[in-house]
Structure 1
Amino acid sequence: MSPTATATITPQDAPTTMLDDFLIRAALAGIGLTLATGPLGSFVVWRRMAYFGDATSHAAILGVALAFGFGLPLYAGTLVVALAMALTVAALSGRGHAMDTVLGVLAHAALAFGLVAASFISGLRVDLTAFLFGDILAVSRTDLAVVWGGSAVVAVLLIWRWQELLTATVNEELAQASGQDPLRARLVLTLALALTVAVAIKIVGALLIAALLIIPAAAARQLARGPESMALAATAIGATSVLGGLQASLNFDTPAGPSIVVVAALIFVLSLGVKRRG
């Protein structure tokens, strides 16, 4: 199976042992990713940074093209460009620009530049459009190590700065009065988001990263009573979405990445009903 082709699970294509092997890797990769997207997605929802995630994930396609063009590791090229985009957006956000317009220009321009740049790379046999939706079924053991390592770094970073991030999210003036630096909190989230996008691009793709960040956190917000419980619930909902999406892909022969997001969306709809009854 090509590592860049959008795939669906078809039991007839491989023996049971092989099927179990790549399914286990896919499940482990997805669950590992939710260790970062759960708590980070909670901050994205609290701070209304959904646009930020979209811009960073779209820019990651340009990073993929540059990585192939210059012979760099895929994750390194993606991380550099995602971080550059995140820092650019963070810098512009404090200067009074019309952020919806600026982000629309940056996100779509970076995505288009990435796809166009790929056409100028001679001998490139990779279709970058596959990175728009990812291919969780083609995850290798090396990818697993990168995903779990990157997610662990993000999780540790957020736990380390948890109280500072919470205070700055609730009230930046209160954070300053407490001797904290809101700019540093914004930078921590920027770095965490760029790293998450870099490790997630191959698994769920640029167009689905923001969905995996936002939807589980939005569903958890309907159910949780505090910040910590929301972060944990978002992680649990993300992991459930991964397992449910893979099972749905196996049963109905549908694309795995989008199936995961569909399950997450269904959980969000159910969470709205739970809140109404509460």
Structure 2
Amino acid sequence: MYLTVKFEGGLAEQHKIPAYDGTKSLEGLTRSILIVSNFLVEGRVRRREFGNVPLTFNLVAQQPGSFESIFEVAYGAAVMGGPVVGGLAAGVAGNLLTDLLKVVYQRVCGTAHEEVPQRVLDLEAQRPGDVAALVEAAEPAIRLGHNVINHGVININIQQATNAAPQQLAELTPATKAYVWENAINNGVRLKLFSIGSFNANQGTGRAFDLEEGRSIPFELMSDADRQTIETLLASISQYTRRRRLGDNLASAVALQYTSVDALDGRIKKIRILKARTDMNQI
């Protein structure tokens, strides 16, 4: 599989980019792609030490044009027997990689408005919390990937190169840079109904579906959350999974008391759960 990373606007139109900011952006984008690619091989979220990962990841060429780099990603026998896509054909593994890259970039950059691909939904059902952990791990790298935007380059497009038209995986823009780079801590305590879609017990993180806004939001469980909070989250996940996989109509909504980390435009980027109960009247 070949991926292209194309810098557009500004100096890139002269077929060059600022050396320091540009290479920092390439470093971040390279790391983010490796984090997602390696997850399919090892079945765990690796944040560092990518020098000996069991996959092929090469920078193949710099193409003429605005400023375009081509990356080669290839899976050997290791991924075919791996814990995530064991038994799948190489093409299916590649499709899962592109789907995962789309979802990870969308969730980090605040552009997750499209329907989640079925392959990723299946993965989230089979390995609850892993995709949320993957998004959290990739966020610093994607933030670094924005480094050159507004500093010599306007946009960065990441695509899968195909024989037909390239498939768009992500677009980094001044708007996504503002979303990723700038946070506003909102310590106002609020109460609202959510449905818990995933939870990583090791990290204390996951995703909650906002029933009012109709979107999935990452969450962090506060370290002093009580036992009933954890039991409530787990019960919601179980009901959410039954509804998605079996068509059961069990209510998965739970009341969350939370604070948040917001984007500067007021959008919630992450909620920090203080308490969870099955009913608002219990909080």
Determine which structure has more spread, i.e. the larger CA radius of gyration: 2
Query: Which has a greater percent of helix?
Result: 1
Both proteins in one fold, TM over 0.5: no
Larger RCO: 1 or 2 (CA < 8 Å, sep 6+): 1
TM tier, shorter chain?
A: under 0.3
TM-score (norm 2): 0.25
